[in-house]
Structure 1
Amino acid sequence: MSDAEIVTILLLLFLIRPFKENKYLTDLWIPPLSVRYITLVWLEWQIEYI
C-alpha cells in the first residue's frame, strides 16, 4: 500500500468514528466542521488522483 492509501484509510476511519470521540482532538486546533470539510475535499482529490 502506498502512503496515500494509508492516509486515506486513516481519514475514513476518522470520519466514521463518533463525533464525540474526535471532539477534544479537533477542538485543540481548528473547529471540527472545518476538519470534516478539509478531509472531504482532500479525499475527493485523492480519488481523482488515483
Structure 2
Amino acid sequence: MTRPELTELDHLREVERLARAVVGAAAGECWLSYAVPDPPGLVRTHDFSPH
C-alpha cells in the first residue's frame, strides 16, 4: 500500500519534525549545542569546522 502524496506544507512540517527529533536526540547525548560553549575537559574526536 502506498502513502498519499504530501502537500508542500505537510512535507515542510515533516522535515521540521524530523529535524527537531535529531536536535533533541543529539542534545540528549550532550554533543550538539548552538548556545552553550563546550564543557570544560571536552575532547573532540572529529573536527566538523569548515576549512
In the superposition, the TM-score normalised over structure 2's length comes to 0.40
Answer 1 or 2: which has greater helix percent: 1
In the superposition, the TM-score normalised over structure 1's length comes to 0.41
Where relative contact order (Cα < 8 A, 6+ residues apart) is larger, the structure is: 1
